[in-house]
Amino acid sequence: MFVDIDSLLRPVYGYHKAGASYGHAKIAGRELLRKGLSPLITTLSAPDHPPVIANTWLRAGRCASGSGAAKMIAETLTTARQCGASGEITVRGDSAYGTAAVMRTCQRLAATFSLVLRTNTAITRAITAIGDDAWTPVHYPGAVTDPDTGELISEAEVAETLHTVQPQSSQPVTARLIVRRVKAHHPANTDTLMPAWRYHAFFTNTTDDTV
Percentage of the residues of the chain whose pLDDT score is greater than 70: 92
> 177, 160 in Cβ contact below 8 A?
yes
Same domain, 8 and 107: yes
Same domain, 121 and 204: yes
Same domain, 149 and 160: yes
Same domain, 174 and 98: no
For residue 83, the enclosing domain spans 1-115
* pLDDT at residue number 190: 56
Distances (CA, A) of 154 to 6, 157, 165, 201: 27, 11, 31, 18
Residue 111 pLDDT more than 90? Answer: yes
pLDDT band at 23 (very low <50, low <70, confident <90, very high): confident
Total number of domains constituting the chain: 2
As a whole number of angstroms, the distance between CA 125 and CA 129 comes to 6
pLDDT in tens, 33-53: 889 999 999 999 998 899 999
* pLDDT at residue number 211: 66
Same domain, 85 and 150: no
Same domain, 2 and 75: yes
As a whole number of angstroms, the distance between CA 28 and CA 139 comes to 29
Give me the mean pLDDT over the 118-125 stretch. 93
* pLDDT at residue number 192: 53
Question: Considering 87, 115, 143, which residue would you say is the last residue of a domain?
Answer: 115
pLDDT in tens, 74-91: 999 999 999 898 899 999
What are the φ and ψ backbone dihedral angles of 97, each rounded to 5 degrees?
-115, 5
Same domain, 47 and 68: yes
The CATH code of the domain that includes 60 is: 3.30.420
